[in-house]
């Protein structure tokens, strides 16, 4: 009987061209499976997906996720914490948090992302839960010690829904970590958070990628007590 890992791979292989690569996040070695060509995936989307603006952002591994994953592994060290990731994509941040000993619920709006997250957790020797979650509307009553998100602050219309989701998902003494490339629109999120009684802190980390250095901000949010 095939293992769950084999079942997941066979199912994904039947649906997508796949890419599996080894990544070093700080001193930590991971393997991640993703869609080999997200542009081809975009071309194959149905009109219904396009009409509802369900783009295959989940199929990419975004640079900010590596920076946040390293920060979680080496500085946050959330062992024993209950954590949730918003828009987890293929699960880089969630898998890193689970590897660090956290109890993780990885979520994405697009259900197609969830088997990739489960596969990537298993192939890296850890486990987590997955669930579809729309930050605009959800029924999840559970609250978490930490909420993570990577590269979600790219449209103005999403800023308040993301902040409202964090407010609902975090425990009173919880903390959110959001990694984002340095964008003006993302800075507006910090202002919005401060106006809604959150303490904010920004930590900037460099990421060397293909010979270029990107500056990635990590926003830390906690409630004003």
CATH of 4-223, one of 3.30.2350.10, 3.30.413.10, 3.40.50.150, 3.40.190.170: 3.40.50.150
**What is the structure's pLDDT at 39?**
59
Averaged pLDDT, groups of 10, the chain, 225 residues long: 92 93 94 83 52 65 95 97 97 98 96 96 97 94 97 93 97 97 90 95 89 92 91
Pairing state between β 198-209 and 212-223: antiparallel
**What is the structure's pLDDT at 40?**
63
**What is the structure's pLDDT at 211?**
81
For 77, other C-beta atoms within 10 Å of its C-beta total: 13
**What is the structure's pLDDT at 210?**
76
Let me know: does 35 contact 41? Beta carbons within 8 Å. Answer: yes
**What is the structure's pLDDT at 164?**
96
**What is the structure's pLDDT at 72?**
98
For 72-140, give the DSSP string: IIIII--TT-EEEESS-TT-HHHHHHHHTT-EEEEEESSGGGHHHHHHHHHHTT---EEEE-BTTB---
pTM to 2 decimal places = 0.92
Residue 181: phi, psi to the nearest 5? -60, 155
């Amino acid at each position: 009987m095939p293992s769950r890992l084999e079942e997941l791979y066979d199912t994904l292989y039947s649906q997508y061209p796949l890419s599996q690569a080894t990544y070093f996040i700080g001193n930590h070695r991971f393997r991640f499976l993703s869609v080999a060509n997200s542009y081809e995936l975009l071309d194959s989307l149905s009109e219904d997906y396009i009409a509802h603006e369900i783009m295959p952002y989940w199929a990419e591994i975004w640079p900010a996720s590596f920076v946040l994953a390293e920060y979680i592994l080496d500085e946050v060290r959330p062992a024993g914490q209950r954590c949730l990731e918003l828009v987890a994509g293929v699960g880089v941040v969630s898998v890193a948090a689970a590897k660090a000993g956290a109890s993780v619920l990885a979520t994405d709006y697009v259900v197609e992302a969830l088997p990739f997250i489960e596969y990537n957790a298993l192939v890296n020797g850890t486990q987590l839960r997955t669930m579809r979650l729309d930050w605009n509307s959800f029924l999840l009553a559970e609250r978490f010690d930490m909420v993570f998100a990577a590269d979600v602050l790219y449209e103005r219309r999403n800023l308040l829904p993301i902040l409202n989701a964090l407010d609902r998902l975090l425990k009173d003494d919880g903390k959110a970590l959001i990694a984002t490339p340095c964008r003006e629109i993302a800075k507006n999120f910090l202002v919005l958070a401060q106006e809604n009684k959150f303490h904010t802190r920004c930590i900037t980390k460099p990421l060397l990628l293909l010979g270029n250095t990107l500056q990635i901000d990590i926003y830390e949010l906690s409630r004003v007590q």
